[in-house]
Amino acid sequence: MSLLKRVLLSLVVLLGVIVASSIVANTLFKRNVRAEVEQLFDNVDNKSEVVTEEDIIDLPTSVQKWLQYSGVIGREKIVSGRLKQQAEMRMEADGQWMAVEAKQYFTSKEPGFIWSATIKAAPFIHIAGRDKYLNGKGSMLIKPMSLFTVADSKGEEIDQGTLLRYLAETVWFPSAVLNDYISWKEIDDNNAKATMTYGEISTSGVFTFNQMGEVINFEAERYGDFNGEFSLETWSISMSEYKAFEGIKVPTEGKITWRLDEGDFNWFNFEVLEIEYNNPTIY
């Protein structure tokens, strides 16, 4: 056998080993995420009280209008759920967009979520990602090809960031904002400030509403990792294209942007494909 053939054969064998290892690693990654989701849902009682007009009477007018528009009045409070997303993301302002497929599970009486994603970095190359907020603590795990851990982030900045993410994403399970860990302050007819306090973290963000009662933007000061260091920056989510899932109207498209001194960095765009509320299926 010629040297060239031996080299090519070795490369084919090596590629096969990497692909096989990645498949096994991805199976284990998904199994671990499922175990975390089961832990998230462990103490959830999916029997819930019905939301009434009295429940929202003390909220800012814009928030009341949103909850009425969303359709939560007269329905059971959302205590758990699952959603599916397709998205695109990039790591730098001039970077290449990468396709993302994600699913997310959430709870509201005790706030928490598990977000699991497959990021298609290049043909035959994926990145497995998992974002978690549980018991007031956040963590972020990133594993290229599901094999190598390049990030397993924890700490106060991650706790603050995941709490703010949870607060922003209550737009997908609106009755969650009626829980005691969220308080409201009216700014004007179209803006209200929400403060979420849970565990050792308390932080705030501003929801912006249109005349129909739709949330169209959320903005807050959030910790982000820039060039290996955390800094507090303005984090903004624009939202649109409302659709109803199980009778609840929610925004299904959005753009997430860091508003930095050097300019806006739109790094993540998403579309919600499906949502299942209370006693959702775990995939």
pLDDT tens digit string along 147-168?
A: 767 767 899 999 999 999 999 9
In a domain, 242, yes or no: yes
Q: How far apart are CA 56 and CA 63, in angstroms?
A: 8
- Report the CATH number that the domain containing residue 160 is assigned in CATH: 2.50.20.10
- The residue segments making up the domain with residue 108 are 3-277
pLDDT tens track for 76-88: 999 999 999 999 9
Question: Quick one: CA dihedral 82, 83, 84, 88, positive or negative?
Answer: negative
Predicted confidence band of residue 146 (pLDDT cuts 50, 70, 90): confident
Band (pLDDT 50/70/90 cuts) for residue 6 is low
pTM (2 decimals)? 0.91
- What's the pLDDT score for residue 134? 95
In whole angstroms, what is the distance from residue 211 CA to residue 62 CA? Answer: 9
In a domain, 238, yes or no: yes
Domain contains 217:
yes
At residue 274 the predicted structure's pLDDT band, cuts being 50, 70 and 90, is: very high
CA distance 15 to 91: 27
Residue 30 lies in a domain: yes
Structural domains in the chain (count):
1
Query: pLDDT for 179-211, tens place per residue?
Result: 999 999 999 999 999 999 999 999 999 999 999
Identify whether the C-beta of residue 250 lies closer than 8 Å to the C-beta of residue 275.
yes
Q: Which of 15, 62, 99 is nearest to 211 (CA)?
A: 62
Is 34 a member of any domain? Answer: yes
Residue 169 lies in a domain: yes
**pLDDT tens digits for range 117-142:** 999 988 878 899 999 999 999 999 99
Report the distance separating Cα 126 and Cα 119, nearest Å: 5
pLDDT reported for residue 218: 98
Is 283 among the domain residues? no
User: Would you say residue 38 lies in a domain?
Assistant: yes
Higher pLDDT, 32 or 137: 137
